[in-house]
Structure 1
Amino acid sequence: MVSKPHGGRIVRRVASDKTRERILSEQNEYPRIYVEHGEAIDVENIAHGIYSPLTGFLTDEDYTSVLHHMRLSDDTPWTIPIVLDVSKPDFGEGDAVLLYHRNIPVARMHVEEIYRFDKREFAEKVFKTTDPTHPGVSRVNAMGKYLVGGEIELLNELENPFSDYTLRPVETRVLFRERGWKTIVAFQTRNVPHLGHEYVQKAALTFVDGLFINPVLGRKKSGDFRDEVIIKAYEALFQHYYPKDAAVLATVRYEMRYAGPREAIHHAIMRKNFGATHFIVGRDHAGVGDYYGPYEAWEIFDEFPDLGITPMFIREAFYCRKCGGMVNAKICNHDEEFRVRISGTKLRKMIAESKAPPEHMMRREVFEAIRGFENPFVE
Structure 2
Amino acid sequence: MISKPHGGKLVKKLLSSREKEKILEEQNEFLKIKINYGNAIDIENIAYGVYSPLKGFLNNEDFQSVLDCMRLSNDIPWTIPIVLDLKNPSFKEGDEILLYYNDLPIARMCVEDIYTYNKKEFAQKIFKTTDLEHPGVSKIYKMEDYLVGGEIELLNELPNPFGRYTLRPEETRDLFKDRGWKRIVAFQTRNVPHRGHEYIQKVALTFVDGLFINPVLGKKKKGDYKDEVIIKAYDVLFKHYYPKNSAILATVRYEMRYAGPREAIHHAIMRKNFGCTHFIVGRDHAGVGDYYGPYEAWDLFKEFPDLGITPMFIYEAFYCKKCGEMVNAKICPHDGEYHIKISGTKLREMIINKEQPPEYMMRPEVYEVIKNFKNPFVE
Provide TM-score, normalisation by structure 2.
0.98
Distance 1:316 1:293 in 2: 13
Partner of 2:224: 224
- From the superposition, tell whether residues 143 and 222 of structure 1 become closer, same or farther in structure 2 (CA, over 3 Å): closer
The C-alpha deviation readout for 1:244-285, integer Å capped at 9, x for no partner, is: 001000000001111111111000000000000000001211
User: What is the percent sequence identity of the aligned residues?
Assistant: 72
Aligned-pair CA distance for 1:349: 2.2
Distance 1:306 1:33 in 2: 37
The C-alpha deviation readout for 1:194-246, integer Å capped at 9, x for no partner, is: 00000000000010000000000011233322111111110111111111001
The C-alpha deviation readout for 1:289-309, integer Å capped at 9, x for no partner, is: 222222211100111000000
Q: Secondary structure at the match of 2:302?
A: helix
Distance 1:287 1:359 in 2: 27
Equivalent residues of 2:4, 2:273 under 8 A apart:
yes
Partner of 1:356: 356
The one-letter code of the counterpart of 1:46 is I
The C-alpha deviation readout for 1:292-330, integer Å capped at 9, x for no partner, is: 222211100111000000000111100000001000111
The one-letter code of the counterpart of 1:50 is V
Matches within 5 A, 1:17-166: 17-166=17-166
The one-letter code of the counterpart of 1:162 is F
Partner of 1:367: 367
Distance 1:349 1:64 in 2: 42
Partner of 1:191: 191
Equivalent residues of 2:135, 2:221 under 8 A apart:
no
Q: Structure 1 residues 306-315 or 110-119, which shifts more?
A: 110-119
Q: Structure 1 residues 189-198 or 345-354, which shifts more?
A: 345-354
Aligned-pair CA distance for 1:99: 0.7
Equivalent residues of 2:220, 2:256 under 8 A apart:
no
Aligned-pair CA distance for 1:373: 2.4
Aligned-pair CA distance for 1:20: 0.8
- From the superposition, tell whether residues 223 and 136 of structure 1 become closer, same or farther in structure 2 (CA, over 3 Å): closer
Partner of 1:302: 302
The one-letter code of the counterpart of 2:311 is P
Matches within 5 A, 1:243-322: 243-322=243-322
Distance 1:70 1:221 in 2: 25
Aligned-pair CA distance for 1:33: 1.8
The one-letter code of the counterpart of 1:340 is I
Distance 2:223 2:78 in 1: 32
Q: Structure 1 residues 221-230 or 235-244, which shifts more?
A: 221-230
Distance 1:225 1:172 in 2: 25
Distance 1:191 1:203 in 2: 19
Distance 1:230 1:334 in 2: 33
Distance 1:365 1:208 in 2: 27
Distance 1:326 1:20 in 2: 53
Distance 2:205 2:247 in 1: 9
Q: Secondary structure at the match of 2:94?
A: coil
Equivalent residues of 2:15, 2:154 under 8 A apart:
yes
Equivalent residues of 2:110, 2:151 under 8 A apart:
yes
Equivalent residues of 2:116, 2:146 under 8 A apart:
yes
Aligned-pair CA distance for 1:371: 2.3
Partner of 1:207: 207
Query: Hey, which bits of structure 1, 4+ residues long, moved more than 3 A?
Result: none
Aligned-pair CA distance for 1:15: 1.2
Q: Secondary structure at the match of 1:303?
A: coil
Distance 1:352 1:143 in 2: 34
Distance 1:232 1:135 in 2: 27
The one-letter code of the counterpart of 1:2 is I
Distance 2:223 2:90 in 1: 40
Distance 1:141 1:353 in 2: 36
Distance 1:5 1:102 in 2: 32
The one-letter code of the counterpart of 1:38 is G
Aligned-pair CA distance for 1:353: 2.9
Q: Secondary structure at the match of 2:240?
A: helix
Distance 1:294 1:194 in 2: 19
The one-letter code of the counterpart of 1:331 is I
Report the count of equivalent residues. 379
Equivalent residues of 2:11, 2:53 under 8 A apart:
yes
Partner of 2:7: 7
Distance 1:153 1:130 in 2: 34
> Mind listing any 5+ residue stretches in structure 1 that lack a counterpart?
none
Q: Secondary structure at the match of 1:33?
A: strand
Aligned-pair CA distance for 1:26: 1.4
- From the superposition, tell whether residues 56 and 133 of structure 1 become closer, same or farther in structure 2 (CA, over 3 Å): same
Distance 2:24 2:139 in 1: 31
Distance 1:244 1:37 in 2: 35
Aligned-pair CA distance for 1:155: 0.3
When the two chains are superposed, the root-mean-square deviation of aligned CA atoms in Å is 1.0
Q: Secondary structure at the match of 2:153?
A: strand
The C-alpha deviation readout for 1:331-356, integer Å capped at 9, x for no partner, is: 11211111011111221222223322
The one-letter code of the counterpart of 2:164 is D
